[in-house]
Amino acid sequence: MSGNDLPGYDKHAYEPFAVTVDLAVFTIRDGTLHVLLVERGEEPYAGRWALPGGFVQPDEAAETAARRELAEETGLADVVGLHLEQLRTYSEPDRDPRMRVVSVAFTALLPDAPEAHGGSDAADARWVPYDRAAGLAFDHDRILADARERVGAKLEYTCLATAFCPSEFTLGELQQVYEAVWGTALDRPNFRRKVLATAGFVEQVAGASRLTGGRGKPAALYRAGTATALHPPLLRPAPEGPSA
Amino acid sequence: MSGNDLPGYDKHAYEPFAVTVDLAVFTIRDGTLHVLLVERGEEPYAGRWALPGGFVQPDEAAETAARRELAEETGLADVVGLHLEQLRTYSEPDRDPRMRVVSVAFTALLPDAPEAHGGSDAADARWVPYDRAAGLAFDHDRILADARERVGAKLEYTCLATAFCPSEFTLGELQQVYEAVWGTALDRPNFRRKVLATAGFVEQVAGASRLTGGRGKPAALYRAGTATALHPPLLRPAPEGPSA
DNA sequence: ACAAAAGTGTTCGGCGTACACCCATGA
DNA sequence: TCATGGGTGTACGCCGAACACTTTTGT
C-alpha cells in the first residue's frame, strides 16, 4: 500500500530516499537503432557516458520529471510524437555509491532524431549506435538492455513502431524500424500485407508519395492509425526452431 | 541517471520521499481468480480494503520489501513457488493524502492459496474474488486492474500459468488458470495439444494420475518444465473480430 | 446403465512463408 | 536500358478452431 502506518512515523527520522528517473531514448538513424547518451560532468563516473535522467522534484510525477529532464539535459524540447513509457524501477541499495537512490526507468521513442546538445548537468549529449553503447555509468548497461528487449517485444503485439516514424512515412521506413530493433531482415511483400491487414495500424495519405533512395518507384505515404494493439501479433522470427 | 548532481545537495534538505511496495497477489480458487486484500486498521482509509504492502526499509531492495511485507501482513511465509514480479511504479504526488509516497507495485502468483490472517499492521487479510474487489483504498483499484491485465497478457507468451499450480497438476487445472484469468472458455482438446507441443512447458509425471471431480477418468499429472517463454504464443480469443 | 471428466482423431479454413513477377523512377 | 526500390500475385504447409468420438472412472 502506501499506507502501512508506522505510528508516530517522522518523515525526517529515516535516511531519506532519493527518487530519480533514467531514460532510454531510442531512435532509428541510417537504418540502425541509436540511443541517446549524456557524458557525465561530475563524480561519480565523471567523463563516463550514461542515460539521461535526474531527480524527481517533490511536486511532480515521475513521468513529468522524465520529460523535464530530457528537455533540460539534451535540449530536446517536448517533441511532438515523443512516446514515453515506464520500463521498471531499479531499487538495489548499492546502485549509487553516494546514497540510497531509487530510480524509475523509462523508454522513449523518437521519430526524426533531432541533434542533441549538452544541457544543465551533462557535459555533452549524443546519439550513439546501440551496439556501441557499453560501459555506461551506474547500472545503466542493464537498464539499456532491459529497455531494448522491452521495445523489441512490444513491436510484436502493439502499434508502437509508428512512434519511431515521422507523421508521414513509407512502409519501407516502417519495416526498417522492425529490422533495426530486431536485428533481422523481413520479407517486404509479407510485411506489407501484414501491416495493411491490421485495421487501424496505418492509413494511407491519399495521393501522396515520396522517393526514398533517390532511385526506384515513389512509395505511398501513410500516417499512424488509431489502433494501439496488434491482433494478430507480428511475431519476430524465433532464434531457435519455431516449435519442436 | 542516478546521478544528476545537485552541487552541495543536502539529502535532508528536501521533503523526503517515502518509498513503498504494493502487492497484487493472485490465486485460483474454485476456478475463479482471487486476490489477497487486507483491511486497513488506521487512517487514512481505516476499515477499507487495500492491497498488502508497506514501506521499503533503508537497506533493502523493493523486491525484498515485497516478500517481507507479504509475510508480515498476511502470515504467508515465503511460500515455495511464489512468483513475484514488478508491475510498475506509481508516483503521482497526491496519491497518498499524508505525504509524498512513491510506490513500486508487484504482482505475485500463488498455487494452492493457504488461508491468510491479519498481521502486524492489517486488521484482517482475506482472499476476495477479483470481481468483488472494488472500492479499495488509495489508487489500489487502478493498480489491481493493471496487475490483472498484465497477468492476462503474460499468460499468452510465457509459461507463467504454472506459477498458479501446485508442483503436480493436471492439464485441466492448468486450463482453469487460463479460463479464470481471461474469463473465457477454451477448447480442451486444442488446449491440451498446444501445451504438449511446446517443449519445456510441462513434463509428465510417469505413472501418476489423480481424480479431479470425483467422477470421470483420472487425469495424468504434470510438473512445470524448464521453459519460460512460449513460442508460438497461446493467444486469447480476440474480443472483437480477429482481423478485418 | 449413465454421467462426468480425460484423452484421441479428423476436417477445414486461414495465415505465414517463400518466391516469382510487374511497375515506376533516376542515372 | 539498367539498377533500385515499391507493389502484386500465388502456391504450399502448418497451425488453430471446431467437433465427433473413445476411454476410464464413480454412482
pLDDT value of residue A241: 38
Neighbours of A215 (CB within 10 A): 6
Domain that holds residue B80: 18-154
Same domain, A164 and A118: no
Å between A243 CA and nearest CA of chain B: 6
Assigned domain for A80 exists = yes
pLDDT of residue A105 exceeding 60, the answer is yes
Unique residue bearing C-alpha cell 501491416: A195
Is residue A74 over pLDDT 90?
Answer: no
What is the Cα–Cα distance from B52 to B199, expressed in whole angstroms? 36
Nearest in space to B34 (alpha carbons), one of B187, B144, B192: B144
Q: Is the pLDDT of residue A1 over 50?
A: no
Residue B4 domain flag: no
pLDDT of residue B73: 83
Smallest Cα–Cα separation from B67: which of B49, B33, B56? B56
User: Is the domain of A167 the same as that of A64?
Assistant: no
Looking at the structure, do residues A63 and A85 belong to the same domain, yes or no?
yes
Angstrom distances, CA of residue B180 to CA of A56, B15, B176, B203, B219: 39, 44, 6, 23, 20
Q: Which of B56, B96, B199 sits opposite A3 (nearest CB)?
A: B96
Same domain, yes or no: A123 and A164: no
Last residue of a domain, one of B95, B129, B154: B154
B81 and B164 in one domain?
A: no
Per-residue pLDDT averaged across B192-201, rounded?
95
Looking at the structure, tell me whether residues A57 and A169 fall in a common domain: no
Q: Give a yes or no: residue B239 inside a domain.
A: no
B232 found inside a domain: no
The answer on B186 and B87 residing in a single domain is no
Q: Count structural domains, chain A.
A: 2
pLDDT of B115 over the 90 cut: no
CB distance B162 to B149 below 8 Å? no
- In this structure, of A145-149, A239-243, B86-90, B153-157, the range with the lowest mean pLDDT score is A239-243
Residue that finishes a domain, picked among B127, B154, B181: B154
Do A42 and A114 have their domain in common? yes
- The pairing of strands B202-210 and B101-109 is unpaired
pLDDT tier at B119, thresholds 50, 70, 90: low
The CA distance from B22 to B98, in Å, is 17
Q: Residue A100: inside a domain, yes or no?
A: yes
Same-domain pairing of B126 and B49: yes
Q: What is the mean pLDDT of residues B50-75?
A: 92
Q: Are residues B210 and B182 in the same domain?
A: yes
Query: Separation of CA B187 and C1' D20 in angstroms?
Result: 14
Band of the pLDDT at A122, cuts 50, 70, 90?
Answer: low
b/e per residue A163-190 (b: at least 16 CB within 10 A): bbbeeebbbebbbbbbbbbbeeebeeee
pLDDT band at residue B160 using 50, 70 and 90 as cut-offs: very high
By C1' distance from the Cα of B189, the closest nucleotide is C7
Do B34 and B139 lie in a common domain?
Answer: yes
Considering only CA atoms, name the residue closest to the C1' of nucleotide D27: B215
pTM over 0.85, yes/no:
yes
CATH code at A178? Answer: 1.10.10.10
What CATH number does the domain containing B79 carry?
Answer: 3.90.79.10
Q: How far is the CA of B186 from the C1' of D23 (A)?
A: 22
Segment A52-68 mean pLDDT: 95
B74 or B48: which carries more pLDDT confidence?
B48
Judged against a pLDDT cut of 80, whether residue A9 lies above it is answered with: no
As a whole number, mean pLDDT of residues A77-94 equals: 88
What mean pLDDT is predicted for residues A10-23? Answer: 75
Residues B115 and B177 occupy one common structural domain = no
Chain A residues with beta carbon closer than 8 angstroms to that of B14: 16, 58
